[in-house]
Chains A and B, each alone.
Chain A
Amino acid sequence: MHIIESGNVAAATGVKLSRAEVIAAYPITPQTPLTEKLSELVDSGEMKAEYIPVESEHSALAVCIAASSSGSRAFTATSANGLLYMNEQIHWAAGARLPIVMCVVNRGIGAPWTVWNDHQDSISQRDTGWIQLYQCDHQQIIDTVIQAFLIAETVSIPVMVCYDGYLLSHTYMPFEIPGQSEIDKFLPKFKPAYFLDPKNPANLNTVTLPDVRPDVRGDLAPGYMEIRHNLHMDMRRTISVVEEVDRKYQKVTGRGGTPLVEKYECDDADFIAVCLGSLSYQLRDVVDMMRKEGIKAGVFGIRLYRPFPDQAIANALSRAKGVVVFEKALSYGNQGALFADIKSALYNSGNKPFVHNYILGLGGREIKTQDLFNSFMASCKDDGKIGDEPQWIGLKM
C-alpha cells in the first residue's frame, strides 16, 4: 500500500512493523515528530511496546541500553545536540554490543542554534563503533529502519539510520508500506545470546584489565584490547552482512539492490560526484544537465558510511578521471570527513583521479541545483587551481 506522508511517519511505520518492544525518547527540540507518532501508535494500541518518556537524550539511550541488555528490541531517535548529549552512552552501546536502532534526523549543531539540516551531528559520531546508514528518500527510510534491526541483531552492533532533517523528515512524498506478515518473516523475534536474567545473574561490562586473564571458570578471557579488536573485525564483517540482509529484504519486498552505494550514470563516467543522503538524488538532475553538455558525469550516494565500504567505493571509482565530494559536514581545520575517507579508499587502488571537496548546505543553507552544476562543471574543467582545500558553495559574505 502506498501513502503520502512525511519521512518521520515513514520511520515510525518502519519501527512499528519491526515490532520494537521498548521505545525511549526525549520529546523536546531538536527531537522530531517521529517519536510523537510512535507515542500515538503505542497509546492507541496499534503498536505493542513500552514507550518511556525520559528527561534527557542521555537517559533515552540509557533506557535503550538497559532494555536491550535484558533482551528487548529497543529503539530511540534524536538529532543534533540531542545526539551529542547521548555521546557517552553511544560509545557504551557499541562497546556493550547491543543491537539498538536509532534514527538520527540530521540537523546542524549549535552554537549558534539551528534546527535545519546538515550532517555534522552524525558525522561527529562516526568513530563510536555504530553502523551508520544514510537515506535518500522515504522508501529508503522505512525499508532501512526494518533492515537495521536485522543487521544490528545479526552482528550485535547498534545502528544509526540517518536521514536529512526537514528535506526528508518534514517533507511529504509517496512510499510503499510492506505488509506485517512479510516483515514478520523477514525479521524474527529478537533472541539475544546473552541477556540480563534474574534466574541467571551476571555482571556485564565490568572493569576490564589491560591484559587477558582467566575468568571465573578458569577460561582465558579477552582483555579490553581483544574486545575492541572483535568490535572492529565484526564491523568489517558487517559490510557483507548489510549486503546479505538487503538480498533477503529484496526477496520479501522486491526492493533493494543498492545497500552499500547507490550509483547513477557511473558506468562510463569520467567525473563522479560522491555524497551522503538526499543530496545524491538532487545531483542526479545535475548529472542529466551535464550529460546534455557532453560531459560524462555520474553520481553515487553512499548508503553505508560506517563500516566504510572502501572496496566497493574504489571499484566504483576505478575508471574516473575526477571525483567530486559534496559534503554537509567538516572536520574543522582540516577538510570534509568523507573527502578524507574517499582519498584513503583510493590510495591503494590502481586509479588516481583528482579528488575535490565542496562544503555546502550547513545549517540548512539552500542548495541550488544550478550552484551544484556550476561547481561540478568547474571541477571537470579545472587545470589544477582548485587543489586540496575544501571549496565552499553558497557563501554570501
Chain B
Amino acid sequence: MKKDTIKIRWHGRGGQGAITAAKIVANAAFVSGYSGVVMTPTFGTERRGAPVLTSLKISKNKIYDLSPIEEPDMIVVLDHLLLEEAGVTNGLKPGGTIILNTPKSPDDYHFNEMKVATADVTSIAVKAGLMQGIVNSGIIGAFAKASGLINLEILTKEIEQEFKDKRPKENAEAARLAYSITNIGGM
C-alpha cells in the first residue's frame, strides 16, 4: 500500500452506523482536497449488534489498491466494549491512534506506543438532543480532534447533509460537543 495513503479502520456494532460515519468522513475528506477516497464496508453477513468494521483510505492521489487495510494509522471504536473482543487493534502501527467512545479517560488504557483519545460520545449525544445510543455523529467530533485531518466545520456540514431528514442540527451539535470534550493521552 502507498505510503501517502491514510488508513482508518472503524469498528462498531451492526446498527450503530459506523458505515455512515465513515461515509461522512469520506465526503468531508474529498471536499477538503483528498481526491483519493475509498470506503469499504465489511464484506459479509452483517446483523444488528454483531461487531462490524469499515475501512477508509484517504489520499491526495487516486487510490488504486482496494485490498483491506492491514496496518491502519488510526482506529475509531464506536463502542469501547469492542476492545474486549478480538481483533480491534490488530495491525495498528506504533505511533498509531485509537479513538474511543468511552466514559473512561486515556489514562485508563495501556496500549504500547499508541496515542489514545477518548470521549463519552454516548452521553454527549443525549445532551445534544439525540436519542440514547446514537453515536455515529458524535464520534466524528472525537475523530476530528484526535486526527487533526479534516476541519470540524466541513465535517459538521457533511453531517447535516447526511442526516438532513434525521435531526441534522442535533447530530452536528453532538460532533461539536464531542470535539470539545475529547481527551488525548500521551504515548
Shortest beta-carbon distance from B112 to chain A in Å: 24
Query: Does B105 sit within 8 A of A, measured CB to CB?
Result: no
Q: At the interface, is chain B mostly helix, strand, loop or mixed?
A: loop
- Residue of B30, B63, B66, B70 ringed by the most chain A CB atoms within 10 A: B66
Shortest beta-carbon distance from B9 to chain A in Å: 15
**Known contacts A4-B37, A4-B39, A116-B43: A171-B1 contact under CB 8 Å:** no
Which of B2, B23, B40, B67 meets A4, CB within 8 Å? B23
Query: Does B88 sit within 8 A of A, measured CB to CB?
Result: no
Tell me the nearest residue of chain B to A171, going by C-beta. Answer: B40
Q: At the interface, is chain A mostly helix, strand, loop or mixed?
A: mixed
Which of B23, B41, B43, B65 meets A369, CB within 8 Å? B65
Q: Which of under 10, 10 to 19, 20 to 34, or 35 or more describes the interface residues of B?
A: 20 to 34
Instruction: Give the docked Cα–Cα distance between A367 and B23 (Å).
Output: 24
Which of B2, B26, B35 meets A172, CB within 8 Å? B26
Which residues of chain A in 266-289 are interfacial with respect to chain B, using CB atoms and an 8 Å cutoff? 278, 281-282, 284-285, 288
Query: Does A377 sit within 8 A of B, measured CB to CB?
Result: no
Tell me the nearest residue of chain A to B22, going by C-beta. Answer: A172
Tell me the nearest residue of chain A to B55, going by C-beta. Answer: A171
Residues of B within 8 Å of A281, CB to CB, are: 64-66
Q: Is the CB of A173 within 8 A of B43?
A: no
User: Hey, what's the 0/1 contact readout for A146-167 against B, CB within 8 Å counting as 1?
Assistant: 0000000000000000000011
Which of B27, B35, B66 meets A171, CB within 8 Å? B66
Q: Is the CB of B39 within 8 A of A367?
A: no
Query: Does B8 sit within 8 A of A, measured CB to CB?
Result: no
Tell me the nearest residue of chain B to A282, going by C-beta. Answer: B65
User: Hey, what's the 0/1 contact readout for B25-69 against A, CB within 8 Å counting as 1?
Assistant: 011001000010111110100000000000000000001111110
Query: Does A178 sit within 8 A of B, measured CB to CB?
Result: no
Query: Does A191 sit within 8 A of B, measured CB to CB?
Result: no
Instruction: Give the docked Cα–Cα distance between A172 and B70 (Å).
Output: 19
Instruction: Give the docked Cα–Cα distance between A167 and B67 (Å).
Output: 8
Q: Is the CB of B35 within 8 A of A282?
A: no
**Known contacts A4-B26, A285-B1, A285-B2: A174-B37 contact under CB 8 Å:** yes
Shortest beta-carbon distance from B59 to chain A in Å: 11
Tell me the nearest residue of chain B to A173, going by C-beta. Answer: B38
**Known contacts A2-B30, A4-B27, A172-B23: A282-B67 contact under CB 8 Å:** yes
Tell me the nearest residue of chain B to A278, going by C-beta. Answer: B66
Residues of B within 8 Å of A369, CB to CB, are: 1, 65, 67
Q: Is the CB of A364 within 8 A of B43?
A: yes
Residues of B within 8 Å of A170, CB to CB, are: 40-41, 43
| Chain A interfacial positions (CB closer than 8 Å to B) | 2, 4, 116, 166-168, 170-174, 278, 281-282, 284-285, 288, 364, 366-369
| Chain B interfacial positions (CB closer than 8 Å to A) | 1-2, 23, 26-27, 30, 35, 37-41, 43, 63-68, 70
Jot down 27 A-B pairs with beta carbons below 8 A, ordered by A: A2-B30, A4-B23, A4-B30, A4-B37, A116-B43, A167-B40, A167-B66, A170-B43, A171-B39, A171-B41, A172-B23, A172-B26, A172-B38, A172-B40, A173-B37, A173-B38, A173-B39, A282-B64, A282-B66, A284-B64, A285-B2, A285-B64, A285-B65, A366-B67, A366-B68, A367-B67, A369-B67
Q: Which 4 A-B pairs have the closest CB atoms?
A: A281-B64, A172-B39, A171-B40, A166-B43
